[in-house]
Amino acid sequence: MALVTISIRDILGEGFACPIVFTPIETPIISGSSLIVTRETQVTTEASGEGQITLTRGKYKVTFPLVNSDVITIDVPDDLESHALTELIEGGDESESE
């Protein structure tokens, strides 16, 4: 299970408390002697916009209920490392903000 660190900002660069919903896409997943099935997991960032969640490997649809149109897909690796949410976005490209 990997630790996913989160940093959320608004268009002014300010952090804010934001619920984030992670829904597994590719289920079921076999993890050791367990079977992982589709079930949403939610975390809410602190008022600073910072947060973290531990997730099992796999692809997840990530939604932000406060901002209905924002949806991303992430691919969580099968490791015990810490990863920034932005590093896991599929098809993400930092240069798009140019």
β-strands 19-24, 41-44 pairing: antiparallel
pLDDT tens, per residue, the chain with 98 residues: 899 999 999 999 999 999 999 999 988 878 789 887 878 999 999 999 999 999 988 899 999 998 777 899 999 998 999 999 999 998 765 544 44
Domain region containing 13: 2-93
Return all residues near 12 (Cβ < 8 A) that are at least 6 apart.
none
Number of domains in the chain: 1
Neighbours of 58 (CB within 10 A): 18
Whether 98 maps to a domain, the answer reads no
What is the reported pTM? 0.83
CATH code, domain carrying 82: 2.60.40.1120
- 3-state DSSP call for residue 40? coil
pLDDT of residue 93: 57
8 Å CB contact between 81 and 3: yes
Whether 88 maps to a domain, the answer reads yes
8 Å CB contact between 61 and 10: no
